[in-house]
Amino acid sequence: LDYKPYFYPVFGQLVGKSETDANQKISFNVTSEVRLKNTLEVALALDNSGSMTKTGTGSGQTRIDLLKTAAKQLVDTLAQQAAMIKQVDRPVQFGLVPFAASVNVGPGNGNASWMDTEGLSPVSNENFDWSTLNAADKYAQQTNGIWYKRGTGWGTDEGQMLTRFSLYRDMKVVTNHERVTNSKRVVCDEYNSNNTCKRSHDEYDYIDSYGPFASWQGCVEARPY
């Protein structure tokens, strides 16, 4: 940059410089750096549902092609800015979240505050008619829009909420079939005419342990309340 100050000539002459030297332009170089304290994380939630195959308004391109172009422009612009940042190893990181009817938010977010954990959404119980659970000791009851497990047949789960999440917890599989010590007993299969046992077999008591049959893997429908 070349700079011609107003007051430097006067100051220059006061310190003994000639009028010619005092009126010289000052030349100097300027550099700048963009500094960030932390990495900038950008998440792109991109619609890839069936409607994206339609032509965009005022354009001859499909919506998905327009989306790809816009997303690439955004990434390129941020990447160019990131190249100027010197103090952070990875100035910008990108995440991509495609969604259509559903989106995977990760199994670790099952109890997140923004999740419908109580089944209050009008679409939460689609295809689930909890009212059909109507056994005398095991039934469902709706209170303030939330379905609950009622009856002694639920065991320790009585009073818990009935939701799509609870379905995964309720599905169990036998993980261990352990024979009870000293539980052997002889069972007669066929008797003689004098009522003595002709043919028999041994039976034992067992204790079963149960574990989860399946677990929620993070897929949810992206619908509003």
Q: How far apart are CA 51 and CA 63, in angstroms?
A: 8
Tokens of 182: 């000293």
pTM: 0.47
Is residue 153 a contact partner of residue 167, using CB atoms and an 8 Å limit? no
Q: What are phi and psi of 66, to 5 degrees?
A: -65, -40
User: 15: Cβ–Cβ under 8 A, 6 or more apart, which residues?
Assistant: none
DSSP 80: H
Query: pLDDT truncated to tens, each residue of the chain (225 aa)?
Result: 555 666 666 656 665 666 666 566 666 676 666 555 678 888 888 888 778 888 888 888 999 999 999 999 999 998 888 887 777 778 888 888 777 767 788 888 888 888 888 888 877 777 788 889 899 999 999 999 899 999 999 999 999 999 888 888 888 999 999 999 999 999 999 999 999 999 999 999 999 999 989 888 888 765 543
The secondary structure of the chain in percent helix, strand, coil, rounded to multiples of 5, reads: 25, 30, 45
Distance CA 121, CA 204 (A): 49
Q: Which residues, 6+ apart, have CB-to-CB distance to 109 below 8 Å?
A: 115, 218
Residues 72-92 pLDDT 10s:
999 999 888 888 777 777 888
Amino acid at 103: V
